Chains A and B, each alone.
Chain A
Amino acid sequence: MSATTPAVSLPVDDQTKRRLDRGGKSEASTMAGRTKKRLSSRGATLGALVIAVLWTLPTLGLFISSFRPAGLVNTTGWWTIVQNPGFTFDNYVEVLGTGNSQLDLAGAFINSLAITIPATVFPLVIATLAAYAFAWIPFKGKNWLFIGVFALQIVPIQMALIPLLSLFSRGLNIGGVQIFDSLGSAGGYGQVWIAHTIFALPLAIFLLHAFVSEIPGEVIEAARVDGASHGQLFFRIVLPLSMPAIASFAIFQFIWVWNDLLVGLVFADGAAAPMTKLLAEIVGQRGQDWYLLTAGAFISILVPLVVFFSLQRYFVRGLLAGSTKG
């Protein structure tokens, strides 16, 4: 470099001179430039790669095991697949044929969908509306109410199970006045929908509020001046602009409910039980058939994968770009 650059003394301060000597571009001095540089550096790429491999390894092991005969799974590890080759679809066949007196796997699959989809939609609808109200409608006691909602996250699910169950089975009775009747015994999906919705709301409201309140105030004001009512503001401005947040929360909630066993076990028993419950049963009373779980896990993982890949395109950055200056 020194051979091509003539040695001239530029009238610049020391810092700039050093930067010029290093060949640093002015881009590197901006925040975005620095971040970009840091994120695309070789070390960072390598780090990301190592983490990705480490995180994927167990899944790979599970995948390989699911195609190995029961005997081999029980005696050798999946990483010895080369020394102990063996391939079979038996695990999948057995899992697909499993079931109890009330339910087979296909039925449980339908149950899982019937539980998960409403249990994702309900909290999202309520939380988006609540987030809009908390962010853009001034009313008395707003901050305290918001703190209250957020604080509810502290309550562990396990603590709420019994009171909720008793509420469902006895109804609500305040001072001798019956507010509503009992929902009857655990059957149908209603109870598990309500339970999942209740448990999801604090976090959903908090996350969506953080996003919705980031919409530039001037955009909201412009829409108000343009004649939009709260409803129009919500549906035409806030909802489309919040899609990335809604999509990411939808994915989280869907996967959480799909994989949930505890809430499903408590509130959706018998014929309404989700797939997780059936999968827990197939290992047998003493866990002797645990190798079947490998195949079960892969059947169960299919739906969350589809959801993830169909919604991930909403994770687009810069959706708000261009609304205001800069």
Chain B
Amino acid sequence: MASVTFDKATRLYPGSTKPAVDALDLSVADGEFLVLVGPSGCGKSTSLRMLAGLEEVNEGNILIGDRNVTDVPPKDRDIAMVFQNYALYPHMTVAENMGFALKIAGVNKDERATRVLEAAKLLDLEPYLGRKPKALSGGQRQRVAMGRAIVRQPQVFLMDEPLSNLDAKLRVQTRTQIASLQRRLGVTTVYVTHDQTEALTMGDRIAVLKDGVLQQVGTPRDLYEKPQNVFVAGFIGSPAMNLFEADIVDTGIAFGTAVAEVDRETLGTTSGRKATIGVRPEDLMVSADNRGLPVEVDLVEELGADGYLYGHTDVNGQRVDVVARVDGRNHPNAGDRVFITPEPKHIHVFDVESGLRLSKPITV
């Protein structure tokens, strides 16, 4: 077991002027499950591959425990990696696949067999030990890839979107399995995904990246309740947070015909007379007294217990799409015009220019 530290780690691909990973500062505690999340091309996989030693580090350092591994080849880093496409050895049986690393490490045959069997039991792979990968289903292959990592008992697990090739149902199932397995084994894990739901459900902490720059690190709750900037606010949460620019007025921020109350302290820090306001769909209510933001309802998505109202409105001449959670049984219909107001304590205010968070953390 060990912690992992990225110390201003930078990766600049040859022939490119913009680094794929820009001075990443991140530390993962011993036994922690950290999820790297971001849109495609944000540098999350590159960061993971830098940690694995498969990608060069142009500047900065990477530490596993107290050991600087920046220039250590992958084979000497004592890490195990699960690849997106599993990368099983096609000419070896499941047992040979799982025991390969031990064989290379010179572990004797008996111990190898014991450890492979142990991992196979853990993953329900016992009946398949003698099979070749091509005779396995996608889910089984994924488990073999996991097993290959577990058998090694490494310092760190690295997982590069290991669930993206599974079907939706299996993905949800495997998601919880991996998370509980990790907690049981207590091995430090860095997990890459582009799926924010996966990130929220699996990680102890989440690191959000965009264009190679770390945006925010924190627990899932932190990120959800206190996004540091507009990007994180829009990326975490599904459906996404409603974000639009609005005028600042005396007691707060204009929200259609109503005023969203924001304390003076926060308002004082804005640059100019506008602010970006963010409200999550569940924090928007259809108002009874026709005050608030007038919204044309385009569509209501019914999910049983509740539904999502999709509509649009005009804010200072700009079309803004709005999503709000509504009651499942009793909700406006498409074509209606309703007024929407935010839950006063759940308003996120961001600076228009820098996109940084201005409002204080939400107290629940």
Nearest B-chain residue to A243, judged by Cβ: B91
Known interface pairs A227-B75, A227-B104, A322-B141. Does A222 touch B134 (Cβ–Cβ under 8 Å)?
Answer: no
Tell me the B148-171 residues at the A interface (CB within 8 Å).
148, 152, 158, 165
Is there an interface contact between A219 and B75, defined as CB atoms closer than 8 Å?
Answer: no
Which of these binds chain A: B78-86, B196-204, B248-256, B302-310?
B78-86
Known interface pairs A222-B81, A224-B75, A225-B54. Does A323 touch B104 (Cβ–Cβ under 8 Å)?
Answer: no
* CB-defined contacts of B79 to chain A, threshold 8 Å: 225
Q: Is residue A102 within 8 Å, beta carbon to beta carbon, of the partner chain?
A: no
Contact digits for B93-127, partner A, Cβ 8 Å, 1 yes 0 no: 00000001100110000000000000000000000
Is there an interface contact between B74 and A218, defined as CB atoms closer than 8 Å?
Answer: no
Contact digits for B46-90, partner A, Cβ 8 Å, 1 yes 0 no: 000000111000000000000000000111110111011111111
Is there an interface contact between A219 and B91, defined as CB atoms closer than 8 Å?
Answer: no
Is there an interface contact between A322 and B88, defined as CB atoms closer than 8 Å?
Answer: yes
Which of these binds chain B: A105-113, A178-186, A313-321?
A313-321
Which residue in B74, B87, B100, B141 is a CB contact (below 8 Å) of A216? B87
Report A232 CB to chain B, min CB distance, Å. Answer: 6
Q: Is residue B133 within 8 Å, beta carbon to beta carbon, of the partner chain?
A: yes
Is there an interface contact between A226 and B88, defined as CB atoms closer than 8 Å?
Answer: no
Is there an interface contact between B54 and A322, defined as CB atoms closer than 8 Å?
Answer: no
Interface size class of A (residues with CB under 8 A): 20 to 34
A-B contacts at CB below 8 angstroms, number: 93
Known interface pairs A227-B75, A241-B91. Does A322 touch B136 (Cβ–Cβ under 8 Å)?
Answer: yes
Contact digits for A30-54, partner B, Cβ 8 Å, 1 yes 0 no: 0000000000000000000000000
Nearest B-chain residue to A239, judged by Cβ: B91
Tell me the A205-225 residues at the B interface (CB within 8 Å).
216, 218-219, 221-225
* CB-defined contacts of A80 to chain B, threshold 8 Å: none
Bound Cα distance from A241 to B133, whole angstroms: 14
Bound Cα distance from A320 to B141, whole angstroms: 14
Bound Cα distance from A219 to B158, whole angstroms: 15
Is there an interface contact between A321 and B75, defined as CB atoms closer than 8 Å?
Answer: no
Is there an interface contact between A237 and B89, defined as CB atoms closer than 8 Å?
Answer: yes
Is there an interface contact between B86 and A325, defined as CB atoms closer than 8 Å?
Answer: yes
Nearest B-chain residue to A232, judged by Cβ: B104
- Kindly name the residue among B52, B79, B88 whose own CB sees the greatest number of chain A CB atoms within 10 A: B88
Bound Cα distance from A111 to B141, whole angstroms: 51
Is there an interface contact between B90 and A241, defined as CB atoms closer than 8 Å?
Answer: yes
Is there an interface contact between A216 and B52, defined as CB atoms closer than 8 Å?
Answer: no
Known interface pairs A221-B83, A226-B101, A232-B104. Does A323 touch B90 (Cβ–Cβ under 8 Å)?
Answer: yes
Nearest B-chain residue to A217, judged by Cβ: B87
Contact digits for B229-259, partner A, Cβ 8 Å, 1 yes 0 no: 0000000000000000000000000000000
A selection of 9 A-B contacts at a CB cut-off of 8 Å is A218-B83, A221-B54, A222-B81, A223-B89, A224-B53, A224-B73, A226-B80, A322-B132, A324-B85
Starting from the known contacts A221-B83, A320-B90, A323-B88, 14 additional A-B residue pairs (CB-CB under 8 Å) come to A218-B85, A219-B90, A221-B81, A221-B87, A224-B53, A225-B81, A226-B80, A227-B75, A227-B76, A227-B105, A232-B104, A236-B104, A323-B89, A324-B85
